[in-house]
Chains A and B, each alone.
Chain A
Amino acid sequence: MKWNIPSLEELEDVVWKCTACGNCKTTYNFGPPPTYGEICPSGVEFGFEGYMASKGKISFARGILDGQLEWTPEFVDAIYKCTVCGGCQNQCELDHKPFIPEIIEAMRRKAVEDGVGPMPTQKVIAQSMRSFNNPYQGPRRVRTDWTRPFKKAKQPIKNIMKEDAPILYYVGCTGAFNLPVRNLPVATASIFRKLGLDFGILGENEICCGSTAMRLGDVDEFKRVAETNMKIFKDLHDNHGVETIITSCAGCYRAIKKDYTLSENYEEYLGDIKIIHTTDFLYKYFKEDKLKFTKEVPWKVTYHDPCHTGRHLLEYSIDEDGSQQWKGSYLGKSEDNCLYDIPREMLKAIPGIEFNEMERIRNNSYCCGGGGGVMTGYGDWAAKNAGIRIQEGMDTGADQMVSICPFCHYNLNEGAKRIKSDMKLYDLVELIDMAL
């Protein structure tokens, strides 16, 4: 397959669009009343300008491109100390705005290409991907451990390679291998069952979506698993009746929905398949009154917007030919794909739920700290940052936090433990399953 994944050198023109104005360093809205908040986990933790938001990361890119900066172990470390959350991107108003995460990842791709990246702990992921097709060093057979309750109840979940179904539930590695998150696929499958849906899973044949590899700059590994997945998905569509792929993982969703489109063959392989996040999928049933909440969940909750189901799905319009403003100018953004209102609407509809918003939400949500390979590379910092977010949730008066990403789920729970908070992170599907 041919991929259009740009190198840092190919992004040089947009790198030079950054003024270093520092707009990206904090969230701010005029209001009234005006609101302000920190937005960059890396800037909050490390402080120096180079670590601060896109202004800093682009200084690194600029330094590489103008020959001033060469790789040192500390410099490589610095480019990986970023959650690639896109919080800075949301503040920027200049023409390089649509490319900010791309620039950061292009630096990492260069580091990998030059043999200096990723960081040693992250290399374990790369090795695990090659050996196990997942970043958790999990043996294939463990992938289906979460299905045991269904087997035990003599209602096993279909293996879609053996039994056709119109819906593929793509579980994702975190839900399958990460023990504290395992209730997420259980709840998802339970809801699907309660809705009477005909669905199946790839089971032991599921492989990683490639998101982690892409975030770390390991483009070859990303392409390997992405191409394999695209071929599997096409085969499932052509030969096993799959029309829809549902995933509960924000990272998988972002990868399949966005990163895979960098392949020139995307339409050929996935053009006829609907890719949808569980939350979005369930919303249709909710609106049709088929998802009826009959049980009370008497909890005070707040909601954390994951980066990958939020601002990473913003669609940017660019004046490609210069016919509207000038060639390459950033024209605007659309939130149509971002899952902001849908999870909140369903959450608030659950009987007994008392909902409180945090200050930094939606496009300005404060990253949990787990993205961009940080949870693997810098676990202590990831948990520390998650503690900041948990505290923000607690400050609303909520007892529990809800989200729709297994990565956020794991990391925020780590953060809660770190600050000795009783607050727990639940996935929205867990609450929905409890209410059905």
Chain B
Amino acid sequence: MTGMSKETKVDPLITKRLCEIVGDKNATDMKHVRYAYSYDLSFVKPKLPDYVVMPTEVEQIQEVMKFANEEKIPVIPYTAGTNIGGLCIPEQGGILLDLKRMNKIIRIDEESHYAILEPGVSHAQFASALAKYNLRWSWPVGPPSASTSSNAICHGIGGLSGRYGLNSEEITSMEVVLPTGELVRVGSCAIQEDAWHSCLPLPRVDGLFTGWLGTTGVITKIGLRVHPTPPILKVFTTSADTLGDMGAYLRNLGNYEICDDLTGVSWWLSQVPIPYPYKPKPEEAPEWISFATTFSWTEKEKEAREEIWKMVMDEEIKKGSSLKETVYPEEALKARTQLPSQIVGSTKNYTKQAGAGISWPGTFTPLNKWEPVYDEWKKILIDRNLSPAVRVTNYRGVHYGMLRAMIPFPKKEPASVENARQAIVDCLKVDLDNGGIPYKPPVDFGIEINKRAQQGYVELLKKIKLMLDPNDIMNTDKLAL
């Protein structure tokens, strides 16, 4: 048997201390264990953590953080590793803090409509528990095994975002271990231990931990607002020849705020799976298809929504739009309305044909910038033989919009991975220059964001980061500051 070459950074004394904190079975520096955490679905280059730790209690996390802070060892929080931005791939080695065993649903308050979760709770687990109370959450198009709290704190989106906004806007309270090991609470639970219903009207310090990509603390409990599930589902599906026509329709319908989800997808994204490599759209097929998901409590309510939708359709068609009522491909529609789903997102319909890899320029882009950005994205992607599998979605009516392209690629071929990476970064530059902002950004995106950022903003981020994490140990370098 040949020996595994030891990583130079691995120190058995550190492993020993971590074992003392979480138990021998829950801490290791063995390479085969670390290797499984070194890569994800994205184009981000694999990098190994030096240690992996699986805490089961908040106090253990505090001890790990205190130790890591003293020793200046990077710590990477990890729940399911299903993001597609390399967010849990260690930039500087260190301790990978796998939180999957902290997976209790502490409370579902069926009267006040909120839940308290530990970080390891998956969408599948949460969906199953909420259904018993006829409650729901804004499920993203990710694997059911993905973490609900990680999605929320990273500004993830879901099937109710058209109505309620980002999942981070549904956070009602948090318990956080700071990089220095102190335990803090934000929101109502900070004032009364058992009150987890609201971050408001207190100062919004939850913002210190949302959108920071795990660089400011470890969320150990999170309160989330949940919603009742009306029984009647009606999905309005339309097609249009151009994003101009589709965007006009989405803005018009979005004004009425009647949809839980209001999304348009390019022909390439409506295919299951996304074609790889690029293949031209059949000439007769419309380039854009949309689904407007509505839920109603009564038939009359549904009919009222239908009336509004018809009115919008009539208005757009009178303007000369190519808009048509259409049939959305059945499996694709199921994937959009039956969430969480095993067949959407990073699993079947996105990556299947290319083989293993998926990344994105995923952005919040004003609705009126969708069309010019898409035109440039399409050119960039087709030039690189990649399908322009693009999605546009309204959030909170028409307040802001999401624009993203899902780019599959074969992970086995380094040249193909690099081709996709370059295409994605080029697309991102176009979007940033049009006022878009990427979400859950890999380091490559962070670099482009910070190049364009106002200096005062960057300095503020650095000051906050220094205040919370004086030794820069939390997911070090992930923000590319």
Residues on A with C-beta less than 8 A from B339 are 30
Q: Is B9 an interface residue (CB 8 A)?
A: no
Interface centre among A19, A52, A78 (most CB of B within 10 A): A19
Interface 1/0s, chain B 433-470, versus A by CB < 8 A? Answer: 00000000000000000000000000000000000000
Q: Which of B33, B98, B128, B410 contacts A34 (CB 8 A)?
A: B128
Q: Establish whether residues A49 and B36, one from each chain, have CB atoms under 8 Å apart when the complex forms.
A: yes
Q: Is B144 an interface residue (CB 8 A)?
A: yes
Q: Which of A16, A23, A26 contacts B347 (CB 8 A)?
A: A23
Q: Is B125 an interface residue (CB 8 A)?
A: yes
Q: Establish whether residues B98 and A48, one from each chain, have CB atoms under 8 Å apart when the complex forms.
A: yes
In the bound complex, what is the Cα–Cα distance between A155 and B26 (angstroms)? 58
Q: Establish whether residues B342 and A91, one from each chain, have CB atoms under 8 Å apart when the complex forms.
A: yes
Residues on A with C-beta less than 8 A from B128 are 28, 33-36
Q: Establish whether residues B145 and A75, one from each chain, have CB atoms under 8 Å apart when the complex forms.
A: no
Interface residues of A in 83-102 (CB under 8 A from B): 91, 93-95
Residues on A with C-beta less than 8 A from B348 are 93-94
Q: Establish whether residues B351 and A19, one from each chain, have CB atoms under 8 Å apart when the complex forms.
A: yes
* Closest chain A residue to B357, Cβ basis: A19
Cβ distance A354 to chain B, nearest Cβ, rounded Å: 25
In the bound complex, what is the Cα–Cα distance between A12 and B342 (angstroms)? 24
A-B contact count (CB 8 A): 159
Residues on B with C-beta less than 8 A from A17 are 355-356
Q: Establish whether residues A16 and B352, one from each chain, have CB atoms under 8 Å apart when the complex forms.
A: no
Residues on A with C-beta less than 8 A from B25 are 46
In the bound complex, what is the Cα–Cα distance between A13 and B356 (angstroms)? 11
Residues on B with C-beta less than 8 A from A28 are 124, 127-128, 144-145, 340, 342
Given contacts A22-B143, A93-B347, contact A329 B353 (CB under 8 A): yes
Residues on A with C-beta less than 8 A from B125 are 26, 36
In the bound complex, what is the Cα–Cα distance between A35 and B125 (angstroms)? 8
Q: Is A68 an interface residue (CB 8 A)?
A: yes
Cβ distance A98 to chain B, nearest Cβ, rounded Å: 13
Q: Is B328 an interface residue (CB 8 A)?
A: no
* Closest chain B residue to A25, Cβ basis: B145
Q: Is B403 an interface residue (CB 8 A)?
A: no
Interface 1/0s, chain A 161-203, versus B by CB < 8 A? Answer: 0000000000000000000000000000000000000000000
Q: Is B280 an interface residue (CB 8 A)?
A: no
In the bound complex, what is the Cα–Cα distance between A26 and B131 (angstroms)? 17
Interface centre among A21, A46, A48 (most CB of B within 10 A): A21
Interface residues of B in 50-102 (CB under 8 A from A): 52, 54, 80-82, 98, 100-101
Residues on B with C-beta less than 8 A from A329 are 352-353
Interface residues of A in 368-417 (CB under 8 A from B): none
Interface centre among A32, A63, A115, A116 (most CB of B within 10 A): A63
Cβ distance A54 to chain B, nearest Cβ, rounded Å: 12
In the bound complex, what is the Cα–Cα distance between A325 and B354 (angstroms)? 12
Of B11-19, B37-45, B244-252, the one with at least 4 CB within 8 A of chain A: B37-45
Residues on A with C-beta less than 8 A from B26 are 47
Q: Establish whether residues A60 and B355, one from each chain, have CB atoms under 8 Å apart when the complex forms.
A: no
Residues on B with C-beta less than 8 A from A95 are 352, 355
Residues on A with C-beta less than 8 A from B357 are 19
Q: Establish whether residues B80 and A73, one from each chain, have CB atoms under 8 Å apart when the complex forms.
A: no
Q: Which of A16, A18, A72 contacts B410 (CB 8 A)?
A: A16
Residues on B with C-beta less than 8 A from A47 are 26, 54, 98, 100-101
Cβ distance A392 to chain B, nearest Cβ, rounded Å: 15
Q: Establish whether residues B127 and A34, one from each chain, have CB atoms under 8 Å apart when the complex forms.
A: yes
Q: Establish whether residues B355 and A20, one from each chain, have CB atoms under 8 Å apart when the complex forms.
A: no
Interface residues of A in 38-74 (CB under 8 A from B): 46-50, 52, 55-56, 59-60, 63, 68-74
Q: Establish whether residues B145 and A23, one from each chain, have CB atoms under 8 Å apart when the complex forms.
A: yes
A interface, how many residues as a size bin?
35 or more
Q: Is A326 an interface residue (CB 8 A)?
A: yes
Residues on A with C-beta less than 8 A from B1 are 71-73, 76, 114-116
In the bound complex, what is the Cα–Cα distance between A23 and B26 (angstroms)? 23
Interface 1/0s, chain B 174-206, versus A by CB < 8 A? Answer: 000000000000000000000000000000000
Cβ distance A30 to chain B, nearest Cβ, rounded Å: 4
Cβ distance A45 to chain B, nearest Cβ, rounded Å: 9
Q: Which of B31, B145, B351, B353 contacts A326 (CB 8 A)?
A: B353
In the bound complex, what is the Cα–Cα distance between A190 and B134 (angstroms)? 51
Interface centre among B25, B82, B146 (most CB of A within 10 A): B82
Interface centre among A13, A36, A94, A115 (most CB of B within 10 A): A36
In the bound complex, what is the Cα–Cα distance between A40 and B348 (angstroms)? 21
Residues on A with C-beta less than 8 A from B319 are none
Residues on B with C-beta less than 8 A from A55 are 36
Q: Is B30 an interface residue (CB 8 A)?
A: yes
Residues on A with C-beta less than 8 A from B33 are 48-50, 78
Cβ distance A217 to chain B, nearest Cβ, rounded Å: 15
Q: Establish whether residues A36 and B122, one from each chain, have CB atoms under 8 Å apart when the complex forms.
A: yes
In the bound complex, what is the Cα–Cα distance between A103 and B356 (angstroms)? 16
Q: Is A298 an interface residue (CB 8 A)?
A: no
Q: Establish whether residues A22 and B98, one from each chain, have CB atoms under 8 Å apart when the complex forms.
A: no
Q: Establish whether residues A16 and B355, one from each chain, have CB atoms under 8 Å apart when the complex forms.
A: yes
Q: Establish whether residues A19 and B356, one from each chain, have CB atoms under 8 Å apart when the complex forms.
A: yes
11 A–B contacts from the bound complex (CB under 8 Å) = A19-B357, A21-B351, A33-B131, A34-B340, A36-B144, A47-B26, A55-B36, A70-B5, A71-B2, A78-B32, A93-B348
- The 8 lowest CB-CB distance pairs between A and B, nearest first, are A93-B348, A16-B412, A36-B128, A50-B36, A28-B124, A59-B36, A28-B144, A49-B36
Q: B residues engaging A (CB < 8 A)?
A: 1-5, 25-26, 28, 30-33, 35-37, 39-41, 52, 54, 80-82, 98, 100-101, 122, 124-125, 127-128, 131-132, 143-146, 338-343, 345-348, 351-353, 355-358, 410-412
- Other contacts beyond A16-B412, A19-B346, A36-B124: 15, CB < 8 A: A19-B41, A21-B345, A26-B122, A28-B124, A34-B340, A36-B127, A49-B37, A55-B36, A60-B36, A70-B2, A71-B4, A72-B4, A76-B1, A94-B351, A329-B352
